[in-house]
Structure 1
């Protein structure tokens, strides 16, 4: 019985750290969130944090994975909507954690863990968009190009955060370009 309790306590504490990190990384930024401050917010000592994560990038990956899992679960509710609505929804959801988008791009060339997560996220997101691109009748290099353009458009909207009506116009134009 103690083994199960220890496992549960470990998972619970890890979740507490991820929750604290998510809040701090989004509100104050990854670089401005020290390990000491994060540990204090999670109710542990800085050294204890390393029992659960190898480094700050490992924590970032856990935060990102949690966000994507939440978004993927919520996406099921809108999966049958038109592409423009789904892309608008995606941009709105990711804008809520906007600072993390920049952080991922800044950290990807410095951290294997973040780079691997970033590449996996792109593969997942691009596979969703590819189905729509192919349904629009595009294939081969043209389909590949449109998937990349879609990815760049979404990332650009996240990093530059234009007004909602501009965001919608950009997404409308992207989807129109597929036909």
Structure 2
């Protein structure tokens, strides 16, 4: 049973639920984390979660938005790093959430809310990748193809982890001006 606590405003309660869900989804797994488990971890009733989220997919999108916002804020500290180092940092950052990457790809076909988030995420990443590749010297004519290849490389590195030296070598090859 949830513990009695002081009254919490709506935004704070929402944050507590999203943080609890993020922890469970990344540590235990999305499928294994029922709404009841999320509620227990957040110290609320399952009904309370449904006041904030239509379903588990909507909660997952809130978790993804929170993680993306945090990552973008952290990435600002790496803005002056070499492009290869920025890419390596991003891959390492995403590795923490590899379970969620797999879940998002699997659920896109059955969840319109996750599919929409995924499409928006890729649009943002395509823009960021194209900018970084352009700054690293990739010709404008090659940017679209190199951006797509970079997405495949990042997703491949997340699903098939390599040693740091191998990872760096691949990212350097993709980032090299043609």
TM-score w.r.t. the length of structure 2 is: 0.91
Return the alpha-carbon distance in structure 2 between the equivalents of residues 171 and 147 of structure 1: 12
What does residue 138 of structure 1 align with? Answer: 139
Residue 44 (structure 1) aligned with residue 44 (structure 2) = yes
What is the CA deviation profile of residues 123-163 of structure 1, one whole-angstrom value per residue up to 9, with x for unaligned ones? 111101112333424224x3211110001101111112222
Return the alpha-carbon distance in structure 2 between the equivalents of residues 71 and 20 of structure 1: 18
CA-CA distance at 1:33 after TM superposition: 0.6
Return the alpha-carbon distance in structure 1 between the equivalents of residues 45 and 133 of structure 2: 49
CA-CA distance at 1:98 after TM superposition: 1.3
Report the aligned-residue RMSD: 1.4
The answer on whether the counterparts of 2:133 and 2:175 sit within 8 Å (CA) in structure 1 is no
Q: How does 1:27-176 map to 2 (within 5 A)?
A: 27-135=27-135, 136-140=137-141, 142-176=142-176
- Paired residue total: 171
The answer on whether the counterparts of 2:138 and 2:175 sit within 8 Å (CA) in structure 1 is no
Q: More deviation in 71-80 or 84-93?
A: 71-80
What does residue 3 of structure 2 align with? Answer: none
Consecutive unaligned residues in structure 2, runs of 5 or more? 1-6
Consecutive unaligned residues in structure 1, runs of 5 or more? 1-5
Return the alpha-carbon distance in structure 1 between the equivalents of residues 33 and 62 of structure 2: 15
What is the CA deviation profile of residues 60-114 of structure 1, one whole-angstrom value per residue up to 9, with x for unaligned ones? 1111111110111111111121110000000011111111111110111111111
Return the alpha-carbon distance in structure 2 between the equivalents of residues 165 and 31 of structure 1: 33
Return the alpha-carbon distance in structure 2 between the equivalents of residues 46 and 132 of structure 1: 43
Give the secondary structure class of the aligned counterpart of 2:162: coil
Larger helix proportion of the pair: 1
Return the alpha-carbon distance in structure 1 between the equivalents of residues 149 and 155 of structure 2: 10
